[in-house]
Structure 1
Amino acid sequence: MRPLVEICVGDLRSAIEAEAGGADRVELCDRLEVGGTTPGAGTIAEACRILSISVHVLIRVRAGDFTPDASELAAMRDDVDVALRMGASGVVFGILLRDGTIDREATARLVELARPMSVTFHKAFDQTPDLDEALETLIELGVDRVLTSGGRPSAEEGVDALARLVATAGDRIGVLVAGRLSVANLLEIVRRTGAHEVHLGSAAVDVIKSPCTFTTRDGSALDWTGVRAEKVRRILEAASDLGSG
């Protein structure tokens, strides 16, 4: 079987393009230039209404670290509720303590609020001081999957750690492999890690020029940059090669 392919999208049009290209799931975000924040309620509602594939919503109130204060945690709880009411299949979040370990209490609370949606702990995981210990913590907390590049900037650099995490996780938690994956390196990384799920973003993105493109005062174009169905198809073709190889 080929791995499940999740595409990270930063807007509604990208989500639609991802499904058209054959993606199995989308992670719906806003402001990807800062690592992603929670999209607006309207975007969530329309994505869940239009798409037939799973929509997982990023729950992150701001750029920067993953140690929210009390007011930000309250906002995250409200955003989880919005995602649930809008019909999302899952939510994606990550909460750490100041020492870099997983915030057990806050995570457990959000997991409870999210049900019956699926829960993914995002790449905040890669900032924890001990990946194996963090994995066991997430299993104990009932998290469904973890998004990771093995504690390194890219999956290629973290491939050995990823293989270990996938083996350790077994069927107790999903390991969603991410980190600069592309059509060129997907085959090798999945074979070496044994990944059952992969997450791609920039590999599916292109600049879309419009005849009515806005420009800034200095004359530079503000074309839409987002996911293209044809690029997603190429990713799916590579993933299908894995299934038959």
Structure 2
Amino acid sequence: MSKIEIACFNPESAFTAFENGADRIELCDGLHEGGTTPDFETTKQVREKINIPIFVMIRPRGGDFNYSDAEFEQMKAELIELESLNIDGFVFGILDENNEINISRNKALVELAKPLPCTFHRAFDKAEGLENSLEKVIECGFKTILTSGQKPNVSEGQENLKKLVELSNGRIEILVGGGLRSTNIKEIREFTNAGYFHSSAITDSSGLASADEVLALKKK
């Protein structure tokens, strides 16, 4: 059985994921922007009803991952506010103007989040250089990288995902996500040797996680 994190863009999806065996929730807003920071009340509501780990996204807007000073301050403020809700971790990623991992800013947020663990999200897939970026993310103190192997989806990125699992050598977890479905998880897992997988489990235009898809992801 695979370990599964479900990206949830609303409370309903989080409850569905929880009830159908997800190991962890990534809670966010902004489905059509690829995920943004969820609001305080939504996070509070989900935390009160769910006892599996909840990692909360910290991302002030869609688009690129190079943030202004004001946006960075907003990220810090939101992280501190959401940390008070007894959540289990954070998900974020900051690049510089050259699409390289911004070590100083990421480190600052990782420090602020302590003792909670942090995941570097798919900004990694926009960063320059596979091995170089991996080492920088490890240097920043992240525990996990969410990635499709710097390709548009996990199927195209499986060679790089396999390489990342090998290069990381247990120093950081490679969380495989981006176009992951119950139809391809078995093949991707066997090829990459990864241990943790990430999907929205959305199978229609509703924007809601499908109970059947969550169950199928867990069983494969």
Contact 2:175 2:194 in 1 (8 A): yes
Runs (4+) of structure 1 exceeding 4 A deviation are none
Counterpart position of 1:157:
156
- What do the CA deviations read for 1:28-71 (whole angstroms, capped 9, x no partner)? 01011111110100011111121011100010001111011100
**Structure 2 residues without counterparts, runs of 5 or longer:** none
Deviation at 1:125, TM superposition (A): 0.5
* 2:197 aligned with 1:234: no
Equivalent in the alignment of 2:102: 103
Compute the displacement of 1:157 (Å). 0.3
Deviation of 1:205 after TM superposition, in Å, equals 4.0
Q: What are the within-5 Å matches in structure 2 for residues 73-92 of structure 1?
A: 73-92=72-91
* In structure 2, distance between residues paired with 1:128 and 1:8: 21
Q: Separation in 1 of the partners of 2:187 and 2:210?
A: 24
The answer for the alignment partner of 1:220 in structure 2 is: none
| DSSP 3-state at the match of 1:56 | strand
The TM-score normalised by the length of structure 2 is 0.97
Identity in percent = 37
Does the CA-based 8 Å contact 1:126-1:149 persist in structure 2?
yes
The question of whether the paired residues in 2 share the 8 Å contact of 1:21 and 1:231 is answered with: no
1:51-62 correspondence to structure 2 within 5 Å: 51-62=50-61
Shift of 1:185: 0.8
Measured after TM superposition, the shift of residue 90 of structure 1 is 0.6
Match of 1:138?
Answer: 137
Q: Output the amino acid matched with 1:29.
A: C
Alpha-carbon distance in 2 for matches of 1:160, 1:60: 28
Larger Rg: 1
Which runs of 5 or more structure 1 residues have no equivalent in the other structure?
208-223, 239-245
Spell out, residue by residue over 1:190-240, the C-alpha distance to the aligned partner (whole angstroms, 9 max, x if none): 100001110011x34445xxxxxxxxxxxxxxxx531132321121111xx
Query: Paired residue for 2:112?
Result: 113
Matching of residues 20-35 of structure 1 within 5 Å: 20-35=19-34
Which residue in 1 is equivalent to 2:194?
195
Check conservation: 1:28, 1:44, Cα contact below 8 A: yes
Question: C-alpha distance in 1, partners of 2:81/2:156?
Answer: 36
- Equivalences for residues 159-238 of structure 1 within 5 A: 159-201=158-200, 203-206=201-204, 224-238=206-220
CA distance in 2, matches of 1:229, 1:78: 34
AA paired with 1:232? V
AA matched with 1:140? E
Q: Deviations over 1:105-163 (max 9, x none)?
A: 10000000001111000000011110110111111111100000001001110100000
Aligned residues: 220
Amino acid at match of 1:172: R
State the distance in 2 between where 1:110 and 1:118 align: 11
How large is the RMSD of aligned CA atoms in angstroms?
A: 1.1
Letter in 2 for 1:66: F
Alpha carbons 1:21, 1:228 under 8 Å: kept: no
Contact in 2 for aligned 1:6/1:200 (Cα 8 Å): yes
